[in-house]
Every structure is written in structure tokens, then in C-alpha cells.
Amino acid sequence: MTESINPHGTKHHFSKGSAEGSWKGMKKYLEKEMLCPSMQGRIQYDLTWYPRFGSLSAVYTIVLDGIAQKKFGTTYAYGMLTQQGYQIEYIDDIEKIPFTDRNEYTDYEFSEALIAYRKQSIDESITSDNPMIRMLAIVDRRIGKRRLAKLKDDVEKQPEWLRPFYLARMSSEGIISEYE
């Protein structure tokens, strides 16, 4: 098992979610250090941790303009995917379904995306095959207006859940009018 983060900043060893150090530190990194100025205050990264439920206890929520836009959690993903008709015998089998075939992801997968995003270049992140990494990259301060203008044609190629992040960033930078 990998170490995980709980909201109090201490590590525990019985959950699969992993985000390097404390959640408070990661949240500060994402919202203050790496978030572009035009999106400051518009995006929040939240973690709800349920220690009594052990290994399937974390749900990350990404809030855009006060609305929970996307959730990442093993139990949450299992419920959503089974509602969509996926036959998942064991909850851990979620990760066997390729990213390209689903739009729901586990807290562990999101934690791994956080680690990858933090360790790789912005060029690798914005072109990643992993949509969770692209979500983090599109609102990154290292993506400038010229790069955003080049990405404008890619919005429709993104998963439906990811498009609002692209549109919000491009709108906030004047690349497109308010959600064209």
C-alpha cells in the first residue's frame, strides 16, 4: 500500500490515495503557487477523507466557480461506472478499464496524476494522455496566452468533464468570449 494524505497533514498507510506530503501543502501548491492569476479564487481543490472506511476513503473534489465540477474517488467511481453499465466485479478492477474508455477515476489515480504533474514539465503535462494531468495543466500559470490560443481547437477533443476547465481558462484570458 502507498502512503496517503489526510486533511490534517499526517500520513496514514491504509489508504491508496497518495499526493506527496500533506494535503494542505498540495492544496497550497495547486491553488496558490501554480494556478494562473486569472483563475485565482475560481478553482478549489478539496479532499474529503473518511478514515473509518479504510482503504476506499478519499474523495477529491475540484470546484470551478463554486460548482463541484469533478470528483475522484474509488467508491464514487465504482458507483458512477456501474450506473453507466460497466460490469465491475471487484472495486479495484476499475483501474483495469483504460482511461480512454471511462470518465470516472479513483482517488489513487488522481493522486498519481498529482505526482506526475508535479514532477514533469508543463509541456509534458498539457499533452499528457492522462486527462487528469491535462486538467491540472490547463489552469497552470506556465501556460500562456499564445499556448492557449493554440489549444483552442483542442477543446472539443477533450472529455466532456474536462471542457469546462479549458473554456474557463480561455475565457478568463480573453482567448474566447464567455463560454462560446
Interhelix angle 131-138/107-119, nearest 10 degrees: 50
Of 172, 141, 148, give the one whose Cα is nearest residue 64. Answer: 172
Cα–Cα dist 4/12, whole Å:
6
For residues 64 and 4, the model is more confident at 64
Tell me the pLDDT band of 19, cut-offs 50, 70 and 90. Answer: very low
Please give the single-letter amino acid code of residue 106.
Answer: T
Burial class (CB in 10 A: 0-12, 13-18, 19+), 73: buried
93 within domain boundaries = yes
Of 4, 9, 62, 5, give the one whose Cα is nearest residue 31. Answer: 62
180 within domain boundaries = no
Q: Is the pLDDT of residue 80 over 90?
A: yes
Which residues span the domain enclosing 65? 4-172
Residue-level pLDDT at 58: 86
Tell me the pLDDT band of 53, cut-offs 50, 70 and 90. Answer: low
How distant, in Å, are the alpha carbons of 46, 95, 103 from that of 138? Answer: 18, 24, 18
User: What is the total count of domains within the chain?
Assistant: 1
152 within domain boundaries = yes
19 within domain boundaries = yes
8 Å CB contact between 110 and 17: yes
177 within domain boundaries = no
pLDDT per residue as tens digits for the range 141-158 = 999 999 999 999 999 999
86 within domain boundaries = yes
22 within domain boundaries = yes
46 within domain boundaries = yes
pTM across the whole model = 0.85
